Structure 1
Amino acid sequence: MSVESYYTSLETRLGNALLFGGRSHLPYYPSLSPNAGLWEYIKSLSPFPIYPALLAMENHLLASLKIQGQGREVLDAGCGTGDMAIYFSKRGLKVHAIDLLPDKITISRKNAETELGRVYKTGNHSVVKSLESLSIQEGDYHDLSSIFPENKFDAVYTIETLAHATDLPAVLGEFYRVLKPGGRIALYEYDHWMPSASAEDEMSKVHQYGGIDPTATRTSATNTGGREKDGRGLAAIVRDTGFTDVHEEDLSANVRPLLRFLVVCLFVPYMIVRMLGLEARFINTVAVVMNYRRGWKYVVVTGRKA
């Protein structure tokens, strides 16, 4: 299944609309204090309300970029429906958002126009000016040379999009090229590059129907003897690209409340889907349950261009 087919599938569109209000990234839930009581623990088991947790994830990403000042230029590589790009624009950043899929660009521009009209009515001219600077265009992060020059951006970020990269070193190389010296990268991703004990035939279903190319180049052949995975994870691949001050933060526990809720709700449908061989139509159901069982790792990898 192509990336376009995956994102335009009914299951994907319904899931994003019903759970995330159109957004397409996981929410962030704060860690429990070691001194938390029983009631706090019980409340932490529920993923609701989701919207504040979605904004918490976006604020976490914004903080990880460590950029200050109005008008700093940022690349959103894989903007989806544009909600995060719009949110960051309202915070004073000059965001350039790209996506591979034309329909996502159309939706993003419509969402930006709607938000601009809403903010304009409030009379907040500084936010209006910032939103007017938002750029949304079609683009492939494997090759940005026809869109952006070298040393343009103060920061580049992705959130749950790198799984679709067919040549990850090339993508990271492009991010490095377009960043200014000292510019920062922030990647919020499931660490698909770590080894897993799960059966290969099960994972092949996720690759086949989830818009993930199983033949993709996931790591640097110069450091791994040509192997697709060497078990070092995303942070090591970022470091191989030339980034310095590379750090990894494990947010698995912070996204688990929603994933745990989904697994409870979807386990029986998952078994039925597998029994009937309907993975192609319900690949998100399969992926959520299977990967939760095998131990998904959700990480933030940050780094800096020297």
Structure 2
Amino acid sequence: MVPDVNNERDVVRYYRQPGSRLGYRLFLHGTKHFGFYREHDSPWNWPKALRRMEDVLGERLAQPPGARVLDAGCGVGDVAARLAGRFGLRIDGVDLVAAHVAEARRRARRRGLDPLLTFAHGDYAVLDFPDESFDAVYTMETLVHAAEAETVLREFHRVLKPGGRLVMFEYAREVPTRMPGPAAETFRQLNDWAAMPSFQRFVHGTLERLTAEAGFSVRRVEDISRSMWPMLRSFAVIARLPYAAVRAVGLERYAVNSMSAVEFWRHRAFWRYEIHSAEK
């Protein structure tokens, strides 16, 4: 398999732009996923919501301590660290952005989790692991960045042991023809500027179909959008004025995170946040 160099470059560019680097670090300490809220939670308690979403992932993986798990798109390693520290899992993380991998290694050392965490710079569409290496594989809002989700899912299937579990926290969207024109165009722009070609393709039902075609048995698809919405709404409140300013001068593409916070909240009826669970 040959990596898609153009898409890889776009993903790295998105995460290295100042808005992404500063925004994720300032608000989420570098973590790059949404949080999970319960009724009456404060929408502004982001650390609690982030750790709870990671705990939900650990529960869906349902692996015993010592199980070997692949984090596909590990970012700065916070998800892997939570799974190692709370569930005792051994995590191999892979990420396209070299700076993410370096930071993940530093955080693992500070937390004393080196024995359980390994991070490598690379493309999860072309994994450098033997067949049947892992007990489980997960993505946390990263498959949307894949140039070709089919290739990635086949690679996940290859490195999983028989009976191994795949858990993906990913987005799904409405068919563009069933959306108002401005909403459909906004999704197209955001998916282009944020290097999310697979999200553009992931109309409802597509990811489960592709997962099955890759050889998996799809066990469950959960829509947990409402448990994520408080964080999205808080981001939209913060981003409203900056987004209005850049929109007034036609520079939205240089403030993608502000744009996505406002527009994804505004058009939340047309997309979902889902947990996909499957087995090899």
Higher mean C-alpha deviation, range 199-208 or range 148-157: 199-208
1:182 counterpart SS class: strand
Q: In the superposition, relative to structure 1, how do residues 271 and 48 fare at CA in structure 2: closer, same or farther (>3 Å)?
A: closer
State the distance in 1 between where 2:199 and 2:26 align: 34
**Aligned partner (choices 96, 103, 119) of residue 136 of structure 1:** 119
State the distance in 2 between where 1:300 and 1:204 align: 23
- Are the aligned partners of 2:157 and 2:216 in contact in 1 as well (CA < 8 Å)? yes
**Aligned partner (choices 125, 132, 150) of residue 131 of structure 2:** 150
Is 1:72 the counterpart of 2:45? The answer is: no
Q: Which residue of 2 aligns with 1:195?
A: 175
State the distance in 2 between where 1:163 and 1:49 align: 26
Q: Which residue of 2 aligns with 1:232?
A: 205
Identity %, equivalent residues: 34
Q: Which residue of 1 aligns with 2:6?
A: none
What residue ranges of structure 2 are gaps of 5+ in the alignment? Answer: 1-8
Per-residue CA deviation, residues 172-210 of structure 1 (Å, 9 max, x unaligned), is 111111100100000001225x42415343233212321
Per-residue CA deviation, residues 54-78 of structure 1 (Å, 9 max, x unaligned), is 110000000001112x311100000
2:254 counterpart SS class: coil
State the distance in 2 between where 1:217 and 1:190 align: 7
Residue identity in the other structure for 1:97: G
State the distance in 2 between where 1:158 and 1:242 align: 17
Q: In the superposition, relative to structure 1, how do residues 78 and 285 fare at CA in structure 2: closer, same or farther (>3 Å)?
A: same
Q: In the superposition, relative to structure 1, how do residues 217 and 270 fare at CA in structure 2: closer, same or farther (>3 Å)?
A: closer
State the distance in 2 between where 1:14 and 1:66 align: 34
Alignment coverage as a number of residue pairs: 265
- The 5-angstrom pairing of residues 21-60 of structure 1 reads 21-30=29-38, 32=39, 43-44=40-41, 46-60=42-56
Is 1:300 the counterpart of 2:280? The answer is: no
- Are the aligned partners of 2:144 and 2:199 in contact in 1 as well (CA < 8 Å)? no
State the distance in 1 between where 2:159 and 2:22 align: 35
Is 1:20 the counterpart of 2:4? The answer is: no
Residue identity in the other structure for 2:51: L
Q: Which residue of 2 aligns with 1:212?
A: 196
**Aligned partner (choices 56, 59, 62) of residue 58 of structure 2:** 62
Give the TM-score taking structure 2 as reference length: 0.88
- The 5-angstrom pairing of residues 239-250 of structure 1 reads 239-250=212-223
Offset, 1:232: 2.4
Runs in 1 of length 4+ with deviation above 3 angstroms? 198-201, 228-231
Higher mean C-alpha deviation, range 167-176 or range 282-291: 282-291
Per-residue CA deviation, residues 252-295 of structure 1 (Å, 9 max, x unaligned), is 00010111122233233323322211112200111122122222
- Are the aligned partners of 1:100 and 1:140 in contact in 2 as well (CA < 8 Å)? yes
